[in-house]
Chain A
Amino acid sequence: MVNQKWKKYWQVLTSNNIGLFGLILLVIFLLIALLAPILAPFDPSARVGDPFMKPNSQFLLGTNDVGQDILSELLYGTRISLLIGVIAAFISILLGCLVGIISGYYGGKTDAFLMRLVDLVLVIPFLPLMILLAAFIGPSFWNIVLVISLISWASPARVIRSQVLTLKTKGYVEAAKSIGTNITVILGRHILPGVIPIALSQFVLAASHSILIEASLSFLGLGDPFTKSWGTILYYAQARGAFLTDAWIWWVLPPGLLITTLVIGFAFTGYSLEEILNPRLRKER
């Protein structure tokens, strides 16, 4: 039965143009990330040409300030951007689920306290806070993941909580509670199946945010210095003034377009998932 339900989601998702479009984009990026070593003409960290070369038959998007092939950098960059986005989103959704479920399930003072906490976190200007934390704990892949997920759990937590509240009002949860069913059983059998689809759509949306945040942090020089993401490429393009020369067309434009397309891929998938899961929304849109 569960399988059928997922099959139905899949069908609705793929029959929805926007969702299908987003999904195709994601698949393409996944392939690029996996096949980067095959697709990339050069080692992205090797100095294979002269600095600041214009695009030519050998270097399709020219070279950067130290003579690395920009196209290869971009292809390998897909891995970092995708990975950070997905991992950070996963952790923040995990945290969000934890807080949301505890808050929704127990209600009362626990709920009031946790939701106050969510309100607090939402007031904090998150990018400056991330910059502060990243500056102190130092730039590295995992630190960026940590910083992003520590701050992005709040709004998913709120969404998950309201879903748990809806589930709780359905008779069987109350019934299970009243006959003393073990809490893990109630959670596993009644709450989680209802939460997971919502969490999934929240995850996809969080991934799109994480990718943008990672790009911003990297652009500010707080990215992992050893693995170049798209944001890092733009950091160097900015630092070397590429956007003031003709090089903007091959050095500045492509990374940004890639970021935008990947974010759109996640966002479109996420919005259509949300529409599927929330028929009320579906009617109104």
Chain B
Amino acid sequence: MGKFIAGKLLQYLIVIFLMLTLNFLLPRLMPGNPLVFLAGEDVGFMSSAEKEAILDKYGLNDSILEQYGAYIKNIFTGDFGYSYQQKRPISELLMERLPWTMLLTGLGLVLSTVIGVMFGAISAWRRGTRTDANLLTVFMFLSAMPSFWVGMILVSIFSAQLGWLPVFGAESAWSNYTGMDRLIDIGKHLILPLATLILISVTSTFMIMRYSMLNVLGEDYIMMAKAKGVKEKVIKYKHAMRNALLPVATVFMLSLGFTLGGATVIETVFAYPGVGRLMFESVLSRDYPLIQATFLIITFSVVIANFLADLIYPLLDPKVGSRNG
């Protein structure tokens, strides 16, 4: 098991290393003035002294290796650079936005997994019936819809037309709600983005669960449980479910990246103040250091979440969990 974890850890370290290197090289390799990529398009309005200061800060006059070393060191000390457009340190901006993204994607992942698992299992238990066919069709259509469009339609219907829910943001501005009221306010703002995120990411879990449950139901140990006289419900939930969940857990890890990517787009639609929306804002204003930092923070989150999932996986699968497995 230690070996398994170590292997995974190595894999993730390589991912982080590659992405850091890509991030380091992008502004320096792209044609054009690297200053634009490092400080944003406002560079044209800066005095030469200011430009000199930036060149100095990024050590652009040093050798490439020295620059790289300094870059890595900065990242790992939490210094993601400075947004010259927002006139604030990037790490500060990220810290402000991260909690909202974690709230949205965390809830989205958990709920879409639960819903996908539930319907996937039902579909498999009723394979070949109307229910199964209908569920399959609905989920196929869900996966074909563009996430941002689903969000826009939901806003059009539930906010603009019906006026039930707020249009954008994570909480009402200038309201000064406190305590319970604030929570309710946050909850109301969360419903639509969350629903969108669930709608677009639920299908992969559904498909995997259905397929995996079909396989498990064909296994001999399910027939054995039946021969033993175990009740059908117990067979479904105790014997079949946990085995069928193993592949779902694997896909859960892979879908982390997808969900975070989806969140980027969805946060944009709802002007939800998360890291994804920050990335969109920085793309709009061509604030390159901020684009890079948001990308890095998303990658870090995916990798960390993946690693946590790897740590939990052995608890589900005794084959990986045991010492000699």
Q: Contact residues of A with B, CB < 8 Å?
A: 116, 119-120, 122-129, 131-132, 135-137, 208, 212, 215-216, 219-222, 231, 234, 237-238, 243-245, 248, 252-253, 255-256, 259-261, 263-264, 267-268, 271, 284
Indicate whether B214 reaches chain A with its CB closer than 8 angstroms. Answer: yes
Q: A residues within 8 A CB of B247?
A: none
B149 touches A255 (CB 8 A): yes
B265 touches A264 (CB 8 A): no
Sample of 18 further A-B pairs with CB below 8 A, known A120-B18, A128-B260? A120-B14, A125-B257, A125-B260, A126-B258, A127-B265, A128-B276, A129-B295, A131-B279, A132-B292, A135-B288, A135-B291, A136-B288, A216-B147, A216-B148, A220-B268, A234-B148, A234-B149, A263-B144
Q: A residues within 8 A CB of B156?
A: 243-244, 248, 252
Report the Cα distance A284→B215, complex, angstroms: 8
Check A128/B303 contact, CB under 8 A, given A123-B12, A244-B160: no
A248 touches B152 (CB 8 A): yes
Check A260/B146 contact, CB under 8 A, given A129-B295, A220-B268: yes
Among B14, B153, B155, B295, contact of A256 (Cβ-Cβ < 8 Å):
B153
B82-100: CB near A (< 8 Å → 1, else 0) gives: 0000000000000000000
Least distance between B113 CB and chain A CB atoms (Å): 17
Number of B interface residues in the complex (CB < 8 A): 58
Least distance between B76 CB and chain A CB atoms (Å): 19
A220 touches B280 (CB 8 A): yes
Indicate whether B4 reaches chain A with its CB closer than 8 angstroms. Answer: no
Return the chain B residue nearest A212 by Cβ: B146
A256 touches B146 (CB 8 A): yes
> Interface SS of chain B: helix, strand, loop or mixed?
helix
B146 touches A216 (CB 8 A): yes
- Which residues, 120 to 172 on B, are CB-close (under 8 Å) to A? 140-141, 143-150, 152-153, 155-156, 159-160, 167
B285-297: CB near A (< 8 Å → 1, else 0) gives: 0101001101100
A137 touches B268 (CB 8 A): no
B241-275: CB near A (< 8 Å → 1, else 0) gives: 00000000000001011101110110011000000
Among A238, A267, A271, contact of B269 (Cβ-Cβ < 8 Å):
A238
Least distance between B89 CB and chain A CB atoms (Å): 20
Least distance between B275 CB and chain A CB atoms (Å): 9
Return the chain B residue nearest A265 by Cβ: B144
Indicate whether B302 reaches chain A with its CB closer than 8 angstroms. Answer: yes
A234 touches B11 (CB 8 A): no
Among A128, A131, A215, A267, contact of B140 (Cβ-Cβ < 8 Å):
A267
Among B30, B149, B254, B264, contact of A128 (Cβ-Cβ < 8 Å):
B264
B149 touches A135 (CB 8 A): no
Check A128/B261 contact, CB under 8 A, given A220-B283, A248-B152, A252-B149: yes
Least distance between A66 CB and chain B CB atoms (Å): 19
Q: A residues within 8 A CB of B269?
A: 238
Among B140, B160, B284, contact of A264 (Cβ-Cβ < 8 Å):
B140
Least distance between B34 CB and chain A CB atoms (Å): 11
Report the Cα distance A177→B26, complex, angstroms: 44
Q: B residues within 8 A CB of A125?
A: 256-258, 260-261, 298-299, 302
A sample of 19 inter-chain contacts (CB < 8 A) reads: A120-B11, A126-B258, A127-B261, A128-B260, A129-B295, A131-B279, A131-B291, A136-B30, A136-B288, A216-B148, A216-B265, A243-B160, A248-B160, A252-B153, A253-B153, A256-B149, A263-B145, A267-B143, A284-B214
Return the chain B residue nearest A127 by Cβ: B261
Indicate whether B196 reaches chain A with its CB closer than 8 angstroms. Answer: no
Report the Cα distance A124→B253, complex, angstroms: 11
Indicate whether B313 reaches chain A with its CB closer than 8 angstroms. Answer: no
Indicate whether B19 reaches chain A with its CB closer than 8 angstroms. Answer: yes
Q: A residues within 8 A CB of B215?
A: 284
B299 touches A260 (CB 8 A): no
Report the Cα distance A271→B141, complex, angstroms: 13
Check A132/B11 contact, CB under 8 A, given A238-B269, A243-B156, A256-B153: no
Q: B residues within 8 A CB of A231?
A: 146
Report the Cα distance A208→B203, complex, angstroms: 15
Q: A residues within 8 A CB of B145?
A: 256, 259-260, 263
Check A267/B144 contact, CB under 8 A, given A128-B294, A136-B288, A243-B155: yes
Return the chain A residue nearest B303 by Cβ: A123
Report the Cα distance A231→B54, complex, angstroms: 37
Return the chain A residue nearest B167 by Cβ: A244
Least distance between B77 CB and chain A CB atoms (Å): 22
Indicate whether B15 reaches chain A with its CB closer than 8 angstroms. Answer: yes
Report the Cα distance A132→B280, complex, angstroms: 10
Q: B residues within 8 A CB of A267?
A: 140, 143-144
Return the chain B residue nearest A245 by Cβ: B160
A126 touches B261 (CB 8 A): yes
Indicate whether B211 reaches chain A with its CB closer than 8 angstroms. Answer: yes
Least distance between A151 CB and chain B CB atoms (Å): 11
B299 touches A215 (CB 8 A): no
Report the Cα distance A128→B279, complex, angstroms: 8
Q: B residues within 8 A CB of A263?
A: 144-145
Report the Cα distance A264→B137, complex, angstroms: 10
B295 touches A238 (CB 8 A): no
Report the Cα distance A215→B144, complex, angstroms: 12
Report the Cα distance A137→B29, complex, angstroms: 10
Report the Cα distance A119→B262, complex, angstroms: 20
Return the chain B residue nearest A134 by Cβ: B283
